[in-house]
């Protein structure tokens, strides 16, 4: 081999040295990144600043419980506290109209069972009753159960209903055996915190608050019918 040819080959090898394929470490790093991205895609909802994982009732979201046909033109957002006397009155006066609109497919309703009024109970009844309503959603009796909670609403500044009575109301609504364990384990207390935090971030400061397609309305039957009709 001539000296010129050997020198040319040395130059060619030197040039190729700058264009080597990815190292084994680089390949491993790429695989790890891809696997991590996949894991994030299957993560659970992580609530607020605490960062704890929040278990969500079946068919619910981190912010509430949707009832009705998803394609309904009007969406009623209803923020209630089961310790709130005004919420009980609203349920008695307007609740049947909401049920009618949902049954007709004219609207769907998203219930946001917040816990604003724990200070009016010595046992955090707002939180306990909201969490119990999450158990009722799991059991497929959310609507019936919330009506029973309002019908049996305890006075403010009292301990509120004990867990045993919350469980009895669930059985009255048609919940199965797993409901009692769900209530006593306080399974959906973190979910209640998530719902309440979201309501506060949305500017909700009082209950009941009623919105139709994102716009707050007066708490009357007439205002509700007009807003749904205009949707």
pLDDT, one tens digit per residue, over 51-69 is 568 999 999 999 999 999 9
Same-domain status, 106 and 185? yes
Is the model's pLDDT at 73 over the cut of 50? yes
Same-domain status, 35 and 129? no
Same-domain status, 135 and 34? no
Same-domain status, 10 and 123? no
Same-domain status, 35 and 64? no
CATH of the domain at 62: 3.40.30.10
pLDDT, one tens digit per residue, over 115-152 is 999 999 999 999 999 999 999 999 999 999 999 999 99
Check residues 24 and 107 and name the one with the higher pLDDT. 107
**Average pLDDT of span 174-202:** 97
Which residue do the tokens 């090898």 mark?
13
Which residue do the tokens 């046992």 mark?
123
Same-domain status, 102 and 24? no
**Percent of the chain surpassing pLDDT 90:** 77
Domain-embedded: residue 177: yes
At 53 the pLDDT is 85
Domain-embedded: residue 46: no
C-alpha distances in angstroms, 171 versus 151, 179, 183? 15, 8, 12
Same-domain status, 61 and 36? no
Same-domain status, 84 and 25? no
Domain-embedded: residue 102: yes
Check residues 22 and 112 and name the one with the higher pLDDT. 112
Domain range for 91: 56-230
pTM: 0.79
Same-domain status, 17 and 89? no
Is the model's pLDDT at 20 over the cut of 70? no
Domain tally, the chain: 2
Query: To the nearest whole number, what is the mean pLDDT of the chain?
Result: 84
Is the model's pLDDT at 13 over the cut of 70? no
At 9 the pLDDT is 47
As to burial, measured by CB atoms within 10 angstroms (0-12 exposed, 13-18 middle, 19+ buried), residue 34 is: exposed
């Amino acid at each position: 081999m001539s000296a010129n040819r050997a020198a040319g080959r040395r130059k060619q090898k030197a040039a190729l040295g700058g264009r080597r394929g990815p190292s084994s470490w680089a390949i491993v790093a790429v695989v790890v990144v891809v696997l991590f991205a996949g894991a994030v895609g299957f993560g659970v909802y992580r609530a607020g600043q605490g960062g704890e994982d929040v278990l969500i009732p079946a068919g619910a979201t981190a912010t509430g419980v949707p009832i009705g046909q998803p394609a309904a033109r009007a969406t009623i957002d209803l923020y209630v506290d089961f310790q709130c006397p005004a919420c009980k009155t609203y349920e008695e006066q307007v609740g049947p109209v909401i049920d009618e609109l949902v049954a007709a497919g004219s609207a769907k309703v998203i219930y946001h069972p917040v816990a604003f009024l724990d200070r009016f109970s010595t046992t955090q009844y707002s939180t306990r009753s909201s969490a119990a309503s999450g158990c009722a959603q799991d059991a497929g009796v959310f609507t019936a159960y919330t009506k029973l909670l309002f019908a049996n609403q305890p006075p403010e500044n009292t301990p509120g209903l004990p867990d045993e009575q919350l469980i009895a109301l669930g059985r009255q609504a048609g919940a199965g055996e797993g409901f009692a364990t769900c209530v006593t384990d306080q399974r959906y207390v973190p979910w209640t915190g998530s719902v309440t935090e979201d309501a506060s971030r949305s500017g909700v400061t009082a209950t009941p608050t009623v919105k139709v397609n994102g716009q707050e309305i007066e708490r009357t039957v007439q205002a509700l019918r007009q807003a749904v009709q205009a949707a």
